[in-house]
Amino acid sequence: MRKHSFFIPSGPPFNYVQTMKRSSTIYLDHASGTNLLPGVKDRISDWLESGMANPSSIHQEGRRSAADLDEARTGIAEVLGCKPSEILFTSGATEANNLVILGSAEALRDKGRHVITCATEHPSVLESHKALEKKGFQVTYLAVDKNGDVDPEEFRDSITDDTIMASFMWVNNESGLMHPIENLAQIARERGIRFHCDAVQAFGHIPIQMQNSGIDSLALSGHKLGAPAGIGVLYLRKGRTISRTSFGGSQEQNVRAGTPNHIGAISIAKAIKYHAAHLDVNTKKYVELLTHLQGQLKALPGIQINRDGHQYTPNILSCSFRQVDGEALFIRLDMSNIAVSNGAACSSGSQAPSHVLTALGFDENLAQASLRISMGIDTTKHEIDDFCRELEQIVTSIYREPK
């Protein structure tokens, strides 16, 4: 059980009455899940009006549903620069990561039992590799530098004759750090091993094209892009077989049995096409918001901005507070109707510090007093101003001067 240290705040008293009167939420947790895009809402409304049928059925209504799925698959393939047959629909990126990591390892078992990943990956990737270890595979978890980056040469040196696969995320979901994916994928291709990429936090912020990349598989998630939760995309390069982990029908190239999520598929296709078309304008907006945010955060006592000269996406900012009790910080943020996170949403409820921040060398207290601030396409400067004003009051009220 975590030990708590209690102290008397040295700053001005926190105004609980004023805080409890706030009714509007300042939502800055878009990396966990973001609002439905207007175009996605319209597409869902059209679908609700037209009714549905099982796309595997042979009657006219079934064929119409199948045509919708084909259209969604084709639209996504056009954006990613791949074939429609290489696009598979899943229940989300977690399932996509599970499917391809476990399925690829089983399919390649006779060629080797060694796989490589990184210590700061999403839990869906880390837990998949832990499952492989229980099946007799050897896993190398590459360490990261103080910024969370992977050394491509260390990756190259970790590949052995027994290595069959590597998996790295494109953008870290807690820090926003961009890994050198093209470089890592090229090394994997040169050494003849399969390369998977969790691109959940990258798409919509980085141009992604599959055709000339060394990436063999890639995962995307609907609710990070403005589509409903419960839909994901797995890109699987032609010729890269994976063993089945579910059984029943022959849907999704005989990889994932079960009736496809029709409404989810057309929704994520709409969202993917939107983000591809608006990449430049949205990136410009995020950069402006980030600059505005950082300018105000730097004045707060004890703050540490967790960016140090590497490439980051502009929509995610990680910061930490020294001499601040993390539990008090999050309680008061929540009381102020401010939605931010400490790390990955799938790890919420855990009192353990973020595994990402721990891998970066943060001690427990600093990791617990860390915020992930993530912006969406509807975030405004006014919202940033309100957040920074509330955060300043909270941090000042609980900050302890170092002894």
Find out whether 212 and 195 touch, Cβ atoms under 8 Å: no
State the Cα–Cα distance between residues 330 and 17, nearest whole angstrom. 17
Compute the distance between CA of residue 124 and CA of residue 201 in angstroms, rounded to an integer.
Answer: 14
CA atoms of 368 and 33, how far apart (whole Å): 21
Catalytic residue among 197, 319, 346, 388: 346
Q: How far apart are CA 378 and CA 282, in angstroms?
A: 10
Cα 326 to the chain's mean position, in Å?
23
Residues 245, 102 contacting (CB under 8 angstroms): yes
Question: Are 210 and 80 spatial neighbours (Cβ–Cβ below 8 Å)?
Answer: yes
User: Is there a contact between 22 and 339 (Cβ–Cβ < 8 Å)?
Assistant: no
Q: What is the C-alpha separation between 92 and 74, in angstroms, rounded?
A: 19
User: Any catalytic annotation for residue 118?
Assistant: no
Point out the residues that are catalytic: 346
